[in-house]
Amino acid sequence: MEGKPQGTKWYFKTYWIVTTFLCVGPLVLPLVWFNPRFSRKKKAVITIIIVILSYYLGVWLINSLRTMKKYYDMTLQNNF
């Protein structure tokens, strides 16, 4: 395929990295670090952002699950 220009692979495109982060969280980090378009500094900044977002989303999820458990415990106590 000599006439085809060498482009970025589909899995290194920014929208794909964002979509993958929203689906699998910090498991997207290898895509960030193997991406040839990002400089080392940019990779470090993106990694820090992903780790912080993942932490806060995890804390939010745990708090939400605890709140739901309390709600359902109260609901079940009132039914019996």
What pLDDT, in 10s, does the model give residues 43-57? 999 999 999 999 999
Domain that holds residue 54: 24-79
Q: For residue 29, tell me if it sits in a domain.
A: yes
| b/e per residue 9-23 (b: at least 16 CB within 10 A) | eeebeeeebeeebee
Distance separating alpha carbons of residues 8 and 75, to the nearest angstrom:
53
Distance separating alpha carbons of residues 10 and 72, to the nearest angstrom:
44
Q: For residue 63, tell me if it sits in a domain.
A: yes
Residue 1, pLDDT > 50, answer: no
Specify the pTM.
Answer: 0.74
Long-range contacts: 43-48, Cβ < 8 Å, 24+? none
Mean pLDDT of the chain: 88
Domains in the chain: how many in total?
A: 1
Q: For residue 7, tell me if it sits in a domain.
A: no
Confidence class of residue 34 from pLDDT cuts 50, 70 and 90?
very high
